[in-house]
Chains A and B, each alone.
Chain A
Amino acid sequence: MAFKTEHMTLNMGPQHPSTHGVLRLELELEGEIIKAVKPHIGYLHRCFEKHAEAMTYPQVIPYTDRMDYLSSIYNEFGYAVAVEKLLGIQVPERVEYIRVIMGELQRIASHLVAIGTYGLDIGAFTPFLFCFIDREKILSLFEMTCGARLLYNYIWVGGLSHDLHPDFIRSAKEFVTYFRPKVKDLNNLLTYNKIFIDRTANVGILPLETAINYGISGPNLRASGFEWDIRKDDTYSVYNKFNFDIPVGKGLQGTVGDCWDRYYVRILEIEESLKIIEQALKQIPEGDVTSAIPKRIKPPVGQVYSRVENPRGELGYFIISNGTPNPFRVKVKGPSFVHLGIMNELCKGHMVADVIAILGSIDIVLGEVDR
């Protein structure tokens, strides 16, 4: 006697402890095996692009902060670089060095949240607490400089809003010395933990051809074996003055491009960021950070697409100007929006519990997906 089978639809609704925000995943199951995953987004659509058309160029910066709220400095950085290209102005060197230092500190903070919450999803509570304690130290460095912990409004078009606090360089050097050995602690706790490896190695393998066709960038693309980093390949600001490596996934615990690789590339990137911060703190020149900020921003008619390396991938701003003080169109290509489109490909054939492991390894932020 043959069994009659049909697929079951399971809803991982917008309110869920492991979906990193308001995301709805519709899973089509045959028993415990996944046949299809359909993401539904738009639960946090806050109309950034409409606001950008109504505000003047400097007024858009607080709105860019709130898109990817875990790496706000980089959102502002990308927007400022794009508008400065359109205006054709050059910022002082001190401004460039400070932007790089803040950007790399923000990269470390963002990776700490990614690692901590990934451990929480898999079932480990202690790395989450350890990561957040170290992150508090970075946030107090930011608070010393511009007064805010999470959403800064610090990088302006043409310069910065405040210069560094006199104590900043000393505190930053102390932080680098304090934090280097902590990465080894994290490795002992989570990276080489047998349970973690069993849950993440050989799960969600992303081949390189598929990754490029789907537009994947950042640590997810580097974990599939391709050495591509916008800080080196399409360089901006003063990144060409520093010595740092690009970590690439090698399949040490499983296959190249699985969840463990995507996680391990982030750990290695924290080390590289510490290297960049040390070099920048030694070489930082003197200067005035507000001297190049234009009084009134009115770019010529034209368009530009400029991109930076967000902690999550390639963040691109496409700005069209029509000669008025307000932008005509600002389109943001957020890496999390692109990466979420690959969930269906990666999850086919795995079990329900693996969906959480795969979703955590892609590291999305819903503010950037929905804008």
Chain B
Amino acid sequence: MGLLDKQFAKEGIVVSSLEDLLNWSRLSSLWQVGFGLACCAIEMMATSASHYDFDRFGVIPRNSPRQADIIIISGTVTLKMATRIKRIYEQMADPKYVISMGSCSNCGGPYWEHGYHVLKGVDRVIPVDVYVPGCPPRPEALLEGLLKLQEKIRNESLVKKTV
């Protein structure tokens, strides 16, 4: 179908479906809750800085979970922190998405065997949409994770298809 914004350049009139319009506007400005836990947070900060620039995808950090669309769990989730993550996730308004960045939040990471205080994967407390592997993932990997999330949003539908 092509991106809606390219079609504007030609004549000034575009015909599309409401779902495509809403999905396109939602995926172009995903605001994230500033949530960095450990080493992956430094790579997330480097992604927001000017070399790799998150802002050109429309992602800006917001301080409060009530004003955000996505939360990027970057770093190790410990048992003490897991209850707080659940509380912040529940405060976000629908539709909301979760990107799990790094091995520690995917599945416990290098601390899987003897970590008595590490939660083996953040999907034990909240539902996750995209997993980005790496320890820590490069900024390019995080950008690809974001693009995959945008793919997922593009294919969402307001109405459940019956046929």
Alpha-carbon separation in the docked complex, A366 to B37 (Å)? 9
Known pairs A45-B80, A63-B110 / 15 extra A-B pairs, C-beta < 8 Å: A14-B84, A15-B88, A21-B38, A43-B80, A44-B81, A47-B117, A66-B39, A69-B38, A69-B39, A113-B42, A129-B50, A135-B46, A149-B138, A150-B136, A151-B135
Alpha-carbon separation in the docked complex, A21 to B116 (Å)? 21
**17 examples of A-B residue contacts, CB within 8 angstroms:** A14-B84, A17-B34, A22-B37, A43-B78, A47-B111, A50-B115, A62-B110, A63-B110, A69-B39, A128-B49, A132-B49, A133-B49, A133-B50, A136-B46, A149-B43, A151-B135, A367-B39
Interface check A184, CB cutoff 8 A: no
A151–B84 touching, CB < 8 Å: no
A151–B111 touching, CB < 8 Å: no
Interface check A162, CB cutoff 8 A: no
Interface check B113, CB cutoff 8 A: yes
In the bound complex, residues from chain B placing their C-beta under 8 Å from that of A113 are 42
In the bound complex, residues from chain A placing their C-beta under 8 Å from that of B118 are 46-47
The count of residues in chain B whose C-beta lies closer than 8 Å to any C-beta of chain A is 36
B81–A43 touching, CB < 8 Å: yes
Interface check B114, CB cutoff 8 A: yes
A69–B42 touching, CB < 8 Å: yes
Within 8 A of B (CB), among A1-37: 13-15, 17, 21-22
**A interface SS class:** loop
Alpha-carbon separation in the docked complex, A46 to B80 (Å)? 11
Interface check A42, CB cutoff 8 A: yes
CB proximity of A63 to chain B, nearest CB, Å: 7
Nearest chain B residue, comparing its CB with the CB of A24 = B84
A136–B51 touching, CB < 8 Å: yes
In the bound complex, residues from chain A placing their C-beta under 8 Å from that of B35 are 15
Interface check B63, CB cutoff 8 A: yes
B34–A54 touching, CB < 8 Å: no
Interface check A51, CB cutoff 8 A: yes
Q: Which residues on B are within 8 Å of A, measured CB to CB? A: 33-39, 41-43, 45-46, 49-51, 61, 63, 65, 75-76, 78, 80-81, 84, 88, 110-111, 113-118, 135-136, 138
In the bound complex, residues from chain B placing their C-beta under 8 Å from that of A50 are 114-116
With A46-B117, A47-B118, A132-B51 in contact, do A17 and B39 touch (Cβ < 8 Å)?
A: no
B76–A44 touching, CB < 8 Å: yes
Chain A, 129-153, contact with B by CB distance < 8 Å: what is the 0/1 string?
A: 1001101100000000000011100
CB proximity of A58 to chain B, nearest CB, Å: 15
In the bound complex, residues from chain B placing their C-beta under 8 Å from that of A157 are none
Identify which of B34, B43, B46 gathers the most chain A CB atoms within 10 Å of its CB.
B46
In the bound complex, residues from chain B placing their C-beta under 8 Å from that of A15 are 33-35, 65, 84, 88
Which of A21, A45, A51 is within 8 Å of B78, CB to CB? A45
Which of B34, B76, B81, B115 is within 8 Å of A51, CB to CB? B115
Identify which of A47, A62, A133 gathers the most chain B CB atoms within 10 Å of its CB.
A47
In the bound complex, residues from chain B placing their C-beta under 8 Å from that of A44 are 37-38, 75-76, 78, 81
B45–A132 touching, CB < 8 Å: yes
B80–A150 touching, CB < 8 Å: no
Which of B42, B76, B110 is within 8 Å of A150, CB to CB? B42
CB proximity of A331 to chain B, nearest CB, Å: 17
In the bound complex, residues from chain A placing their C-beta under 8 Å from that of B46 are 132, 135-136
A21–B41 touching, CB < 8 Å: yes
Alpha-carbon separation in the docked complex, A266 to B52 (Å)? 27
Chain A, 52-81, contact with B by CB distance < 8 Å: what is the 0/1 string?
A: 001000000011001001100000000000
Nearest chain B residue, comparing its CB with the CB of A54 = B114
B114–A47 touching, CB < 8 Å: yes
- Among all A-B residue pairs, the 10 with the closest Cβ atoms: A132-B49, A69-B39, A43-B81, A47-B115, A136-B51, A129-B50, A45-B117, A54-B114, A17-B63, A51-B114
